[in-house]
A = this chain, B = another copy of it.
Amino acid sequence: MPRASDATRPVILQAAYKLFRRRGFFRVGMEEIAEAAGVTKRTLYYHFDSKDALLTAVLASQHERTFADFQNYGIELSGGADALIDKLFEGLVKWSSKPRWAGSGFTRLAIELADLSGHPARLIARQHKALMEKQLETMLAGARIPSPKERARELFVLIEGTMVMILIHGDQSYCTAAADAAKRLMAVGSSRSGP
């Protein structure tokens, strides 16, 4: 009983992303994804040629969602950089509190496929991170921070590192530590403190 042409795809993509993010790529089977999406495995293969193709589509779709959200996110940056940083890291605290949180799906996949640098999913993850960093730069520029490009990169590294540490230790206090560091970095800019 075929449903409306392209109503199934989004359902599959959403179910697959949920599973991939939580348990990784290799430990999730197509059967399981099919069940979660309420379809048969064969239907999966009707919509996606292979597991790799599904992964690639999932990441692409998730990038659309996430990146759009992040752009809206930065619209009302009435406060300065400190307000932005607080908002970012408070958001991370909230996100990482979710019961089965397992970090960024993009980061997770990049690491899981660390040795497969040519994999299309890797390319998407890379582009996603690059765009997010760029968007962060735009936000910092909007907050009148000098050298926003350099500061954005530093902030991004802090955020990624924080997510890893929360994942490893299950300790969200890394958020406040990183937020504090980030604020100081934005304030200080890149002036070598003379000897």
At the interface with chain B, which of A55-63, A69-77, A176-184?
A176-184
Question: Is A129's beta carbon under 8 Å from chain B?
Answer: yes
Question: Is A174's beta carbon under 8 Å from chain B?
Answer: yes
Question: Is A7's beta carbon under 8 Å from chain B?
Answer: no
Task: Report which of B129, B181, B184 forms a contact with A157, defined as CB distance below 8 A.
Answer: B181
Measured between beta carbons, the chain B residues less than 8 angstroms from A110 are 164, 167-168
Q: Is the CB of B24 within 8 A of A114?
A: yes
Q: Is the CB of A107 within 8 A of B164?
A: yes
Question: Is A170's beta carbon under 8 Å from chain B?
Answer: yes
Task: Report which of B112, B169, B187 forms a contact with A111, defined as CB distance below 8 A.
Answer: B112
Copies per complex? 2
At the interface with chain B, which of A9-17, A39-47, A148-156?
A148-156
Measured between beta carbons, the chain B residues less than 8 angstroms from A164 are 107, 110-111, 160-161, 164
User: Size class of A's contact patch?
Assistant: 35 or more
Of A23, A26, A110, A161, most B-chain CB atoms within 10 Å: A161
In Å, the complex CA distance between A126 and B192 comes to 34
Question: Is A64's beta carbon under 8 Å from chain B?
Answer: no
Q: Is the CB of A160 within 8 A of B170?
A: no
In Å, the complex CA distance between A102 and B153 comes to 21
Q: Is the CB of A117 within 8 A of B170?
A: yes
Task: Report which of B22, B102, B161, B183 forms a contact with A160, defined as CB distance below 8 A.
Answer: B161
Q: What is the CB-to-nearest-CB distance from A9 to chain B, in angstroms, rounded to a whole number?
A: 26
In Å, the complex CA distance between A159 and B174 comes to 14
Question: Is A131's beta carbon under 8 Å from chain B?
Answer: no
In Å, the complex CA distance between A16 and B154 comes to 35
In Å, the complex CA distance between A27 and B103 comes to 21
8 pairs of residues in contact across A and B, judged by CB atoms under 8 Å: A23-B114, A107-B168, A108-B114, A111-B111, A114-B167, A160-B160, A164-B164, A185-B185
